[in-house]
Structure formats: C-alpha cells, structure tokens
Structure 1
Amino acid sequence: MASGAGIKRLPIEALGPGTINYFVVGIIIAKQNPRKIQSRVGSAEERGVCSFTIRDSPYDFINVNCWGSLHFIETEMENYNIGDVVEISNARVTHRKPDQDEKFSPTVTSPCQLTVSENQNSLKLYGGDDCSAFEPLLNHTTKPPTDFYTLADIHSNGSSMRGESVNLLAVVRDIGPIRTIKTKDGRSIICRDITIMDQTSSGLPVQLWNAATAHRADSWEPRNTVLFLVDMRVEWNAFKRGMVASDGLRTIITENPDTSEAMMLRAFARTAPVKPSAILEQLANTIPDPGSIRQVMTVQQVFDRTSINYAEAANTEDKQFTALIYCLVTHLDLDGTSRITATRCSRCQLPIDGICINLECPVGSGAEIAAPDTIFDVRMRLTDHTGSLENCRLIGTAAERVLNCTVNEFLAMKDDSRTALKWCLLMERCAARIMVLRPSSEQRRPLVSVLACSVANPVEVAAHIPIF
C-alpha cells in the first residue's frame, strides 16, 4: 500500500493533468533502454531517462518517463523489468503530444503521460495482495488482435514497406545468443537475433535491440511462444538476402496473446516443417501434375532468378518457383555408395533415426505403435550448356515415377538391375521439371527438387532450349 494520509489509489483512466494525492498500480508491459540526455550548458552532471509502459486493465495503459542522474537511471532502473507490478505515487501528469511523443514512445490508450524524477522517490515495486491479478494483462495485445501483417506480406511487399512500422503475429522459431556490440562512440549495447514464423512463411529474421526484451527471450520456447509485435521496423538486409524486422522505441511485444489467432498459430507451429529441405518437400507435394510446368529455363537462368539482385528488385516474394530445363543427367548414383532412401515416421512424416522423437506425434509420444516409412531420397546433378545444378533432390513418389519402380521393388533389385536403371537416365538429354527454393540466411544456395525427369525428344529440345 502507498504511504501517506489522504493519498488514494486511482485507475489509469482517471488520471489527468493536475491530479494530486494519488497513486497508481500497473504491470510493466514494455521498457525502453536507458538514454543519456545532453546536459544543460554549464552543468557537469550527466542526466538520463528511462521510459516504460504500464497497464492496469485490458483497456488502459500509459507511458512513464523516469528522469535522474545517468548513474541512477543506469543502475536503479535495472530493478524494474517487464512483468513487474509497480506503484507510482504523485507523478506529474501531463497531456501527451501524439505527433511528438509517439515518435519516441509506444502508442497508448491514455491521453496523458507520467513523469517521475530521482528525487521524488515516487516509484517502487508494488507489494499488495492483488499483485497476481495483474499478470493476465501481459497476454492482452495493445492493438486489435487482427491488426497485423502476415510474414508473406512482409516478404512480398518488401520493396514498398522498407522503413515502415508494422504489427506482426508470429511464433518463435529460433533464438540466438545475446551479443554485445561496441558502437562508434564507445558504448556497449546488446543485440539478440531471433527468427519468427507463421502459416504463410517459414521465417523472418528479427533483431532485438531492446535489452529488456533480449533478456526476456531466455524464457521463450521455439515453436511454442507466440508473439504479437507492435510497431516493428522492417528493412531489406543484403547479407540475409531478404527483409528483416527490428524493435524500436515504439515497440511493444505481447507474449502468448490470449486470442484465437494465436492459438491456431501455436497449433500450426508445433508440427510445421522449418528446415529448408522439409519446406521444399512440402511445396513440391502441392503440385499434383508436374506436366503443367512449361516455363523453360537454363541452369544459368535458374541461378539468376535466385540471386540477391533479382530478389531485391522483385516485387513479389518469389521464394520458390518451378521450371522446365533440358539438360544432361550427369550424376545419378543408384548402384554405388550414395544414400538412396530415407526413413520417416509413418504418422508425422518427420525424418527419424530409429524412433520418432516428435512429442506432438502419436507415435513419438508413445500413444501409438507404427512401423516407419522408407522413401526414395536420391541426389542428382543436372547440367546444360550454361552450368550445373548440384545435389538436386529426387524424393518420395516423384522418384517412384521417374525410376518407374517402388522403393521396395528397388531395394529388392540386384546390383546389375540397379546399374541398368541408372543408365536409363544418366548422360541422357532429359526434360527435367523442377521446383527451386531461393537461398536464405540458413541456406546459402538454392535447393532444387526434381518433380519429373524423362528422356527428351531431340526435336522438342531443339525447339525449346534457350540459346544465348
């Protein structure tokens, strides 16, 4: 409880300029990094400010600015973190100026803002019996729960959204370590890279520059923690070959928002493929008729289309595309030492080594017993007059169509039969229909899945092969 006679507790919605003899209690939902403020001329003392946002109901939240000596701000403010319930008494209440203040602080529902200073001693951790009642407020979004872009929107409209602030709903996919970076002026700041995903995209890199958020990410769980990210800045990153989001002074991140959209996303993320090879396989399975692929390309044109310059200039996501290439099959090891098959769980279809370890799968959780599936997983090299596509994957039912046998029939073959099967395609001029997945920060070269491959008619090749 707040001390002092005549001081009464007020809700955030009741605060207005000139309010006195009050205290307010709220949970911190966002906190900015402490900032050094240029001192007045002639003053030897360095001053600082630390801002945070508190909430006391699903509908009311307000920004708080704490001023004091730089030492006070950098040390005392470390005692207050996201998720802490605080008590603020007799802070100065002023109208906020949306055009000015919201450039440097989160958008809030209150028309006012609170200012406390070091010598007021008006901020402390709250010790009331109702402290736990504030915790559910951490799961309420600060913008309407449907007011967000999908990650596919960010990738596909990147050229027109650079520098914009957007809201995102996504699940954590990967969490990197905290890094310390030296700035040009000698300061040490921390940064943490994470990757988020949703139903429309396997990943968007996110840079967390906010120290409180970066440390809080220690408690996030890949494929389980859903984030509603408000006012994230999106930019093109040449090194990562795509769009990247980063937090800023206006950002508020709500963990595991209590919305139906978040629940559906979490359910999706628990079994969604995240490795580029698994994503490519899933995409390849969406094309029931490879014969419908008729866009002829050379190997060089495939590389050109996956290049960083093409991706930066493109107005569409174009993360994957299909092509028909006329080429020689210059590598197809069906009778040597190369791996030909892979083992999958028969229920969740994830690769396994002995047993399924996917706890979301009935087999992996132990609820069911089922024999694993064995499928083709063959590597090919496709070569034309412009270059070669290495390590093209020929998998599953596509491999059975191309090789004209099931995986069990192949495994029962003798070596001479496998050799004869190999030479039906090896060093032959073929028509190969492929799906290509562009490189990413995780995969520095394009991934290629062969959907169909057969010996081509020479007349067909002469009529369609691109010649430079």
Structure 2
Amino acid sequence: MSDIGFDRFTFGFTIKDSPDYLINVSSWGNDEYINGLSNSFSIGDCVIIENPLVAPKDPEKEDRLCPSTPRLLDSRDFNSLGDIVANGQSLDRNVINILTDVRSVAEPKYFTTEDGRKGQRLEVKLFDDSVTSFPLVIDRIRLLSVLQVLFILDARFDFDSFRNCMTATVNSKTIITVNPDTKEASLLFSYAKEISASGVLDEDDRPGDVPVRQLKLKAQENPEVFCGITYSFISKLDLDASVSKVIRSRW
C-alpha cells in the first residue's frame, strides 16, 4: 500500500493459545521490517506480541484485510484426495479440508509482477492412501519436507485446464498444521513410511504429452518457466537465428 513519500507493507497471520480461540493479526511497516518479520517464525512457533492494538472485526472492510476467524480444527473433518479426484470439476472453486502427506517439494520460485510487486510460489506434490500424486500451490514459502503429514484447513480447489486435473491452493485464510497429534495423522504417517520404502514415491510423475495449444495458453497466463512434453513438428525455423535451443531430436 502506497502513502505519500513511502510504501507500507502488511503481514497477516493467526495466533491461538487454546483449542477454542483464535485471533487474526495484521502487522504494518516498511518492506524491510515486514519481510524480516514474516521470515522470523513459522507455523507452530511461540511468539510474543507486545503493545498490540486490539479491535473488533469490521464487516464492511474488504475480506482480504479482515479475514474471517477460522473454525475450530477437527481432526475428522477432512476429505481424502481420492474424494476430490473422483468429484473432479464439481468441486471447482470449493474450499475443503484435507489430511495428506508430502510427496515432493519443488524449488521455490520468486517473481516480480508488472507493477513491481514481489511474489513467491512453491509447488508441492501431495499423496495419501487413495492418490499417489496431487498438486498443491503455496503463495508463501514454507519449510516442508517429504513424508510430513499436513492437516490443511480451508484449502481452495480449482480445476487446472493445463494439467487437466484438480489442484489445491493455499491462501491467506488457509491454516496448515504440520504432523498433527491425531490418530488419523499417525495412521497416514505409517502408510507414508510403508509406501516410501516400497519405492513407489521414487517413480517419475511428470505430466504426459501436452498439446501445443495448451502450451501457448499456459505461457500467456503465467510468465514463469514451466516444463512439459509435447509431440509436435517444427512449422517454422529461422536458419539465420540461433538454433542452440534445439538440443536433440529423435525420429
């Protein structure tokens, strides 16, 4: 948010000191302060908040600046990834709770938007006892590792036309509990260790061949670098230009 002469930044998070009560916190400051604060702690850490300004939520404000208080965590209130895959596009734009394992964590991606704002993106592959791979996109870098059990409260699910499958997204309203102390999480972790030992998670789960039309559409929608496989032919090649990008061809 811009003010006369300087920019202001905000960082929002949720705190709780009991199973029943949660409070949303918004911290304001300059770029250096807010970025330092957001990187100084993560989910599960204990924090001290000094001299806060406490105020009731204003329902007339935009929801992004005054997020709704999340409901009480319930270890049994979740859907399996198999349920989501089975229902497919009927769950497009729905907010759902899931209990899942981490299959893989990609390298974080950092980018700058056209208006100069800096952003970040982390892609994670999830799995459970019903699905071996399910994509999750996180808009803030988090420390996650393979085989961690995640209880994700209020994840958004959308149909990705490029991947041709459902995907999960974490936003400012989502709460992630790492390795929750529940019976369901313990059973899922035991399954994760068993399936990991079998070597199934080592198999490549990259997407199959992608039509050129979808590649062009993906490039227009997202400026980030992405990978895919396409079976196609070259319709135009400028021999006077560099052809170093053509690495190998197989006939």
TM-score calculated relative to the size of structure 1 = 0.40
Which of 198, 214, 225 in structure 1 is aligned with 2:148?
Answer: 225
1:90 aligned residue: 51
Change (3 A) 1:194 1:277: closer
For the residues of structure 1 that align with 2:52 and 2:202, how far apart are their CA atoms?
52
Give the match for residue 193 of structure 2. Answer: 270
Deviations 1:433-467 (A, max 9, x none): xxxxxxxx99999xxxxxxxxxxxxxxxxxxxxxx
Alignment-derived partner of residue 171 in structure 1:
101
Does residue 1:49 correspond to 2:42, yes or no?
Answer: no
1:195 deviation in Å? 0.8
1:44 Cα deviation from its structure 2 partner: 1.8
Give me the whole-angstrom Cα distance separating, in 2, the residues matched to 1:243 and 1:165.
13
- The structure whose residues are more often strand, as a share, is 1
Instruction: Give yes or no for contact 1:106–1:252 (8 Å, CA) kept in 2.
Output: no
CA distance in 1, matches of 2:2, 2:152: 31
2:49 is paired with a residue whose SS is strand
Contact 2:137 2:169 in 1 (8 A): yes
Q: What are the within-5 Å matches in structure 2 for residues 75-154 of structure 1? A: 75-97=36-58, 105=67, 107-108=69-70, 142-154=72-84
Provide, for residues 174-230 of structure 1, a one-character-per-residue CA deviation record: whole Å limited to 9, x for no partner.
12111223323233322121111111111211111113x2xx12xx2x2x3100011
Q: Secondary structure at the match of 2:54?
A: strand
2:167 corresponding residue in structure 1:
244
Could you say what secondary structure the match of 2:171 adopts? Answer: coil
Instruction: Give the alignment's Cα RMSD to 1 decimal.
Output: 3.3
Q: CA deviation at 1:151?
A: 0.5
Tell me if the contact between 2:92 and 2:158 (Cα under 8 Å) persists in the aligned partners. yes
Aligned-pair CA distance for 1:266: 1.1
Structure 1 match to 2:19: 58
- The Cα of 1:246 is off from its aligned counterpart by 1.2
Matched residue SS, 2:48: strand
Q: Find out whether 1:255 has 2:207 as its counterpart.
A: no
List alignment gaps of at least 5 residues for structure 2. 212-226, 232-251
Q: Deviations along 1:300-351, whole A, 9 cap, x unmatched?
A: xxxxxx9999xxxxxxxxxxxxxxxxxxxxxxxxxxxxxxxxxxxxxxxxxx
CA contact (8 A) 1:204 1:244 kept: yes
CA contact (8 A) 2:122 2:139 kept: yes
Structure 2 Cα separation of the partners of residues 205 and 67 of structure 1: 32
- Cα distance between partner residues in 2 of 1:86 and 1:253: 17
Task: For 1:199, give the aligned amino acid.
Answer: D
Look up the match of 1:185: 115
Residue 169 of structure 1 and its aligned partner are, at CA, apart by: 0.4
The answer to which structure, 1 or 2, has the higher relative contact order (CA under 8 A, 6+ apart) is: 2
Distance 1:246-1:144 versus aligned 2 partners, 3 A rule = same
Using structure 2 for the length normalisation, give the TM-score: 0.71
Contact 1:164 1:233 in 2 (8 A): yes
> Which ranges of structure 1 fall in alignment gaps of 5 or more residues?
1-36, 110-141, 279-305, 310-440, 446-468
How many residue pairs align between the two structures?
Answer: 210
The CA deviation at 1:52 is 1.4
> What's the offset of the Cα at 1:46?
1.4
Q: 1:106, 1:249 within 8 Å by CA — same for their partners in 2?
A: no
Tell me: CA distance 1:83–1:259, structure 2 relative to 1, closer, same or farther (3 Å). Answer: closer
In the alignment, is the contact (CA less than 8 A) between 2:209 and 2:230 conserved in 1?
no
| Alpha-carbon offset, residue 89 of structure 1 | 3.2
Deviations 1:136-194 (A, max 9, x none): xxxxxx52111111101211222111112111100111121112233232333221211
CA contact (8 A) 1:63 1:108 kept: no
CA distance in 2, matches of 1:155, 1:261: 20
Say if 2:43 and 2:177, in contact at 8 Å, map to a contact too: no
Amino acid at match of 1:204: F
Q: CA deviation at 1:251?
A: 0.9
Paired letter, 2:33? F
Query: 1:182 is matched by which residue type in structure 2?
Result: T
Letter in 2 for 1:258: D
